[in-house]
Amino acid sequence: MTTILPTSTATTATTAATTVQSTTTLNSDFETFLKMLTAQMENQDPLNPIDSSEYASQLAAFSSVEQQVLTNDLLTALTAQMNTSSLAELSSWVGMEARSSAGVVFDGAPETLHPLPAALADEAYLVVYDKDGVEVQRQEIALDGEEVEWAGVASNGAPLDNGTYYFEVENYANGSVLGSTPVESYQAIEEAQMIDGQVVLILQGGQPIFPTNVTALRD
């Protein structure tokens, strides 16, 4: 079960509260710093007074730290606003189908897959894994990148269990393994969420993906 995180209003309120808290903390720290500096001046050795340049150096150092904290707070606020804006924009994707290499939630119906064989391959195999990463099927496919209808049936003709399956293309050239390339499919986008400060799309079946992993969209 997915959880919708706070909206832009809540995010703005949280950011504002954080900024106020940081400013209050800085003011408190500055007062403490002045008290310590005053105490240092009052208790210095009159025969060996502290050089005034040291006070200036301490004030400059504190001012630098203060500005850095305020700058970080500003950057945090700007990042939150940008993420909120991205969330609002990507919410228009909800209800559309996204093409990506995410796993497929199999419910007994055939799935259309888009394998991407390597350009130098002279053999390519579609390899299917279950949610635990165990290989459950392997079949040779064409090298032209044409879509494949995957029926979810094992080599013995028995249907595979319903669940999430992952796919890759295993490529060969002259009998040697070239490596694996992705297999993409279209799946409906059910939600757009903000998770740990990043916008995430939730696909059918609850699978999360980043928007940057989407290679195509369709109605």
Task: Compute the distance between CA of residue 115 and CA of residue 110 in angstroms, rounded to an integer.
Answer: 15
Mark residue 5 as left, alpha or beta (left: phi above 0; alpha: psi -120 to 50; beta: remaining): beta
Same domain, 87 and 101: no
Task: Give the C-alpha separation, 53 to 108, whole Å.
Answer: 78
Query: To the nearest whole number, what is the mean pLDDT of the chain?
Result: 77
The answer on 104 and 78 residing in a single domain is no
> Among 150, 213, 161, which Cα is nearest to 182's?
213
Could you say which of 47, 73, 93 is where a domain stops?
Answer: 93
> Per-residue pLDDT averaged across 154-168, rounded?
91
Other CB atoms within 10 Å distance of the CB of residue 175: 7
Residue with the two structure tokens 């050239």: 173
pTM beyond 0.85: no
Domain count of the chain? 2
136 vs 63, which has greater pLDDT?
136
Final residue in a domain of this structure, among 70, 93, 116: 93
pLDDT at 33 over 80: no
Once rounded to an integer, what is the mean pLDDT over residues 158-185? 94
Let me know whether 85 and 103 are in one domain.
no
Asked whether residue 41 is assigned to any structural domain, the reply reads yes
> Are 106 and 46 in the same domain?
no
Pair (180, 136) in one structural domain: yes
DSSP states of 108-151 as a string?
SS-EEEEE---TT-SEEEEEEE-TTS-EEEEEE--SS---EEE-
Strand ranges (DSSP E) for the chain? 97-100, 104-106, 111-115, 123-129, 135-140, 148-150, 163-173, 176-195, 198-203, 208-209, 216-218
Chain segment 1-31, per-residue pLDDT in tens:
333 333 333 444 444 444 445 445 555 565 6
174 with 210, same domain: the answer is yes
Among 56, 78, 93, residue at a domain's last position? 93
Does residue 30 belong to any structural domain of this protein?
yes
Q: Residue 71 sits in which domain range?
A: 8-93
As given in the structure block, the two tokens for residue 151 are: 């029926």
Q: pLDDT over 70 for what percent of the chain?
A: 63
13 and 104 both lie in a single domain: no
- On whether residue 165 sits in a domain, the answer given is yes
**Three-state SS for 34?**
helix
CB 199 within 8 Å of CB 86? yes
**Is residue 179 in a domain?**
yes
Domain identity same for 56 and 119: no
Whether 20 and 35 share a structural domain: yes
Q: What's the N-to-C CA distance of the chain in angstroms? A: 25
- Give 205's pLDDT tier (boundaries 50, 70, 90): confident
